[in-house]
Chains A and B, each alone.
Chain A
Amino acid sequence: MSSTRTTPGATPAGGPGTAAAPAPGGPAATPAVEVRGVVRRFGAVTALDGIDLVIERGELVSLIGPSGCGKSTLLRVVADLVEPTEGEVRVGGKSAHRARLDQDYGIAFQAAGLLEWRTVAGNVELPLQLHGVGRAARRERARELLDLVGLADFARHRPSQLSGGMQQRVAIARALAERPSLLLMDEPFGALDEMTRERLQAELLAVRAATGCTVVFVTHSVPEAVFLSDRVVVMSARPGRVAAVVPVRLGTAERDDAVRATPAFAASVVQVRAALRATEAPR
């Protein structure tokens, strides 16, 4: 094994011992996510190979690529749900592990993963309850969040009474429950129909504007990536690598559905598609 993982003593600036200390230049200067030389192997398969990626605070970055390119694995490495074989991940200046223990991020998956035996409000309250937040504060926060995602009237419903889009909204509200500075989303709208999907995309942007959190968004839809993102990270498959990073410039004003009809949007879509095609070229 030719592990290039740095030992704590070798790099005093990045070692685990300094994780608790404020980074030079203050917390605001620390990127939200830093991925350095990350390799992840599953047995003989290399899912991620030499990933370097820095995501600034407040940025919305999409990861896109053919299936099997490791975009979900990369998200899980950032979430400390999968350990990198090599390399280092820092979230808000801390190790990914520390960030998970500190609940610095919220996460949402393609399957909403709501607990069937809890009400909608109960599901939103789940992380708060697990981390010992009092009942009154929990109720208040769940009400707030359900307001934010437009489900205030469904607080007492069961998840099975909700449509797929509504369930996904609940999952997003749950991910935001502890006011994370980072929101990780793994194809959250992947199973929804086009109309619902576009509506939720606009809602996600509104939520992001309201909370100011950084978002890492895994998707396989080019228009979705372009509509949402400040930057689109295009990945190639087997082994998963960053093939291109496409900045999206659609103006700083809040995006609405009208953006989808602009030439700038179309241009970005073409650009991302081209980058995606390029990843398939050698075959």
Chain B
Amino acid sequence: MRNIFILVRKEFLQIFRNRQLLPFMTVLPVIQVILLTFAANYEIKNLRLGIWDLDQSTSAQQLIHKFTGAKFFQEKALISNQKKADELLMKDEVDLVLVIPKDFEKAIHSSNNPAIQFQINALNNAKAGIVQNYASAITQDFLNEKRGNSTLLASPKIIPITNYWYNPTLNYKTIMLPGIVAEVMTLIIILICALNVVREREIGTIEQLNVTPLKKHEFILGKLIPFWVIGHFIFWAGIALGKIFFNIPMVGSLGLLELFLAIFLFVPLGIGLFISTAVETQQQALFTSFFFIILFILMCGLFTPVETMPDWAQYINQLNPLKYFVEVNRLILLKGSGLKEIYPFIAKMIIYGIGINLLAIWRFKKTN
């Protein structure tokens, strides 16, 4: 016990003295959390609209007003032929060409369904999807207003009313922030743990400790405990930031979140330790860590839903610790899930944590 205390004390002395590492652990996460939360936003405004009006009717004008009146679209060009439309799309000068055909007005007043065409710039397919959604919604809206009660009465139809549970206003910051905090913390913990152990080996102090009566498990605990504490600091600072600046909801129990965090942290720590045993230099540790971190971040469900990945990818993703954390974050903070729902995640993290740490300790004993 005393040895571990001595090691932890030494580690903190070094950490607080490290002019490069300290900002990396304090200022950078704050900047990342704020920046990413604002930046990772699926709302798109100021889409550029090209208008090709073949009807030149009052209804056509009203439709165009409906588009430009909404905050999403801005009139960029008036188009009179397909060549021009193609050109603007090719040059990436418009996002959408709205084509209103001849007899559009007539079709509205008859029982025919009026046809209009969207030519969408799909250079960025995610954006193109959003453009289509907006444009369809606006058009539908317009038709409903236009035909008014008469057609509605004549042909009753089902109108779905959507209710978004747990995040009623679809606030992206609410969804993104806790995930980003978890992601930034995990990244930092894997990196500093791997780099720190490799650094001790590079400067030769591990060799020096090996000839002392210090036991291997004491050395490892002396490394893990300080970073375990730092992980807590980064996470809760990030969540506090989210509460203060973005007023993220905290429906569930923070104690439960802490319980999960306390167990979860052993996973990135174990991964960091494992990486340190597999590489020779700090540079190699950095690149190996990045390989895993990038996979973890891109597949954690924050940027693309895990559910849309192919089966084999979801299978691999079972090893992605961030996936669990992002999910637990949402379950506790947004949905207010209790221990009963979180328990399977905790159990998985215990197994994962024990597994990866045993592997790391086994490798560590072989290499040092």
Q: Answer whether A and B are interacting partners.
A: no
Chain A residues at the B interface, C-beta cutoff of 8 Å: none
